[in-house]
Chains A and B, each alone.
Chain A
Amino acid sequence: MIWLAWRQVRTQVFLVVGVLLAIGVVLATTGPHLVHIYDTVIKPCEAKPNCGNVGTFSNTDRFLQSVSLLLLIAPALVGMFWGAPLVAREFENNSHRLIWTQSVSRMRWLAAKLGIGALVTVVTVGLLSLMTTWWFSPIDAFSNNSLTPSTFDRRDVVPVAYALFAFALGATAGLLLRRTLPAMVVTLFGFIGLRYVVEDYLRLHYMTPLKISAPFNPLNPGLTVGRPGGLQSSDQVVSQETVTGTGRVLSQNGNIGPTSGEVSVSNSGTVTLRGVGPCQGHVNNSLKATGRVSQSVQQSGSGTTHVHARSGGAIEQLNQIVSACSHKYGLRDIVTYQPLSRYWPFQMYESAIFIVAGLVLAGFSLWWLRRRMA
């Protein structure tokens, strides 16, 4: 039975392996160049303080995106072009009537087909993921963002798990619908659906997020990246909020501050934190008369430096008032996040979810074939 299952996919597998080898050659020739840039430009720079922005791998951007995209769509392709036709094609060609009447039970037949397909999926997608992960390694080391969605789900183990799930989903859809095309559509949307749910709702909660908090600083709202005790650029923020001393949540994204429009200055110069209460002290009238302060307050989002340059002492005065005010009300920033050190546990959790989902589908298919279908 295994012989037939292999014989049926053999040609396709050879074709895919050929394509993978071609991709491998391209990556192998361009990869060392990236390593070279990293070793000669970025690494020495990062060793120094104040390296600043040394630039990205922008000269390879277009190519970089296509390589990245390859791994995004590979699992869906496996589901649609290997999974969906696996059983549906047999129904369409009536060949199930031939093979189901040989002296082999249908469960064994399907188990062999699923087993060979899964093996082929692991080998091909695994190879592709291995190659791209290696190719991206200098870029990943530079951007330090392995937990961000578009990187996390295109490296190492998870693409293989996605592909296994997509394959099982395609096979199950083909078995139930008995038509390749509808099964392909169901596979595509089912796969995107689970990926979406896992990425947006589950992934950040595989482990309890770490929590840091600090007094609310109007000059620098939120526990901004780079500050001592603040976030690392590699941390994946789960939630960020500003709370009062009584625990009331003021904002979900830490945007309270003199530049955010949440501070109001009255005509008499008194300052109020909106939603919190009045502050002590008031803005110097002469400065206010020039209109600069109120102007600066309204320029939400345009950046502190800009405002600072225009209104000089007024903004400093305002910041002092707000700073004392936030201390008085006990305002704090609280950030929860997942640190980069959890990358591998997260890869394992996410892989487990998709592999278990795939196994459930495969088990259901076998059960369905035995019980529900004649």
Chain B
Amino acid sequence: MSAVLEANGLGKRYGRNWALSDCTVTIPSGHVVGLVGPNGAGKSTLLNLAVGLLKPTAGGLEVLGGRPSDDAAQLGRVGFVAQDTPTYAALSVADHLQMGARTNPSWDRQLAQGRIARLGLDPKQKSGKLSGGQRAQLALTMAVAKRPELLLLDEPVASLDPLARREFLQVLMETVAEDQVSVVLSSHLMADLERVCDYLVVLVASRVQLAGPVDDLLASHRRLIGPRRDPATMPGNQIVIESSHTDRQSTFTVQTDDPILDPSWTVEEVGLEDLVLAYMGQASTSARPFRPTIGLVQ
């Protein structure tokens, strides 16, 4: 399985502030990848670097085996929906499709027009008069109709209402099913992504805290509830991600590839949202982020 995105020690600095530093991550192809992290974690920076809108200050980055750049051939392989789904307010929907057709050699006119018709958008409507959800759909159509190998979406649903969110993600999933395109979409809310992703990358303060197929992540994490116990006394193959204690009881979220044999524990499965929150919480409390070594590529 080849990688659609491979970052090695990647960093981007603005003045004296690092928006992203020492980021190392590999995203395999053929997945819908959720890039999750709190605001300011560097998600947007990573995606903008991946599509060549930013130049890295440090480290290396390969997208679809090529260096992201201002090069027509490389740009044609990656579809991008920027944060807040910008469009040209003064241009109509039809103008946008025309623009796409004239700027992308691989533009699929039928697909673009079909999607606009199915979404019920009026081609004559100026994009400035569209609702947020409609504009996001237009931006997605632009990104999809150029027939990319990789689709990058930067917080595509952040500014949409819940209904528009659901519609947007639904349309996205249909596209993925039809086109076999790899997708990376970012969000600071796990709930947005839970339904659509089959691969997860958790980014906190430019560090990858967790990365892997969703099924594997769920299978390798457990919540243990039992009598109060010091986390330091846990067995070596159970890595404590998060712990909370009452007077008599301890609750641990642990990562382990082995079955839990200790009968004193009540073992529960961990939901994806709780899992992500556990990793985010861990990163924000520990001075030096703990980095689990989870098999990324199978």
Residues of A at the B interface (CB closer than 8 Å) are 1, 3-4, 7-8, 11, 93-95, 97-108, 370, 373-374
Contacts and interface: CB of A to CB of B under 8 A. Distances in A.
A215 to B, nearest CB: 69
Contacts of A98: 82, 86-88, 139, 142
Contact of A4 (B76, B83, B99): B99
Contacts of B123: none
A7 to B, nearest CB: 6
Contacts of B99: 3-4, 7, 99, 102
Nearest to A102: B103
Contacts of A3: 98-99, 102
10 contacts: A1-B102, A7-B99, A8-B90, A97-B48, A97-B80, A101-B51, A102-B99, A103-B106, A104-B75, A370-B70
B160 to A, nearest CB: 16
B91 interface: yes
A374 B87 contact: no
A105 B70 contact: yes
A98 B87 CA distance: 7
B226 interface: no
A373 B71 CA distance: 14
A235 B51 CA distance: 62
B72 A94 contact: no
B53 A101 contact: yes
A103 B103 contact: yes
B86 A97 contact: yes
Contacts of B52: 100-101, 374
Interface of B: 48-49, 51-55, 70-73, 75-76, 78-80, 82-84, 86-91, 95, 98-100, 102-106, 139, 142-143, 146
B84 A94 contact: yes
Contacts of B70: 100, 105-107, 370, 374
Given A94-B83, A101-B80, A370-B70, 8 more contacts: A1-B102, A7-B99, A94-B82, A95-B86, A98-B82, A98-B87, A104-B103, A105-B72
A104 B72 CA distance: 5
Most A C-beta atoms less than 10 A away, residue of B52, B53, B78, B87: B53
A7 B55 contact: no
A94 B86 contact: yes
B102 A374 contact: no
Most B C-beta atoms less than 10 A away, residue of A7, A97, A370: A97
Nearest to A3: B102
B162 to A, nearest CB: 24
Given A103-B103, A106-B70, A374-B55, A7 B91 contact: yes
B139 A11 contact: no
A105 B71 contact: yes
Contact of B89 (A93, A97, A101, A108): A93
A103 B82 CA distance: 15
Contacts of A100: 52-53, 70
B55 A8 contact: no
Contacts of A93: 86, 88-89
A11 B88 CA distance: 14
A93 B89 CA distance: 9
A94 to B, nearest CB: 4
Contacts of A1: 102-103
A100 B55 CA distance: 13
A374 B71 CA distance: 11
A374 B90 contact: no
Contacts of B76: 103
Contacts of B106: 103
Nearest to B92: A7
A93 B146 CA distance: 22
Nearest to B51: A101
B82 A101 contact: yes
Nearest to B154: A97
B103 A99 contact: yes
Nearest to A100: B53
Contacts of A101: 51-53, 75, 78-80, 82, 143
A152 to B, nearest CB: 39
Contacts of A97: 48, 53, 80, 82-83, 86
B219 to A, nearest CB: 36
A99 B91 CA distance: 13
Contact of B95 (A7, A106, A373, A374): A7
B254 to A, nearest CB: 41
B154 to A, nearest CB: 9
A7 B87 CA distance: 14
A94 B71 CA distance: 20
Most B C-beta atoms less than 10 A away, residue of A99, A101, A105: A101
B146 A102 contact: yes
Contacts of B78: 101
Contact of B72 (A95, A103, A374): A103
Contacts of A102: 75, 99-100, 103-104, 142, 146
A53 to B, nearest CB: 55
Nearest to A371: B55
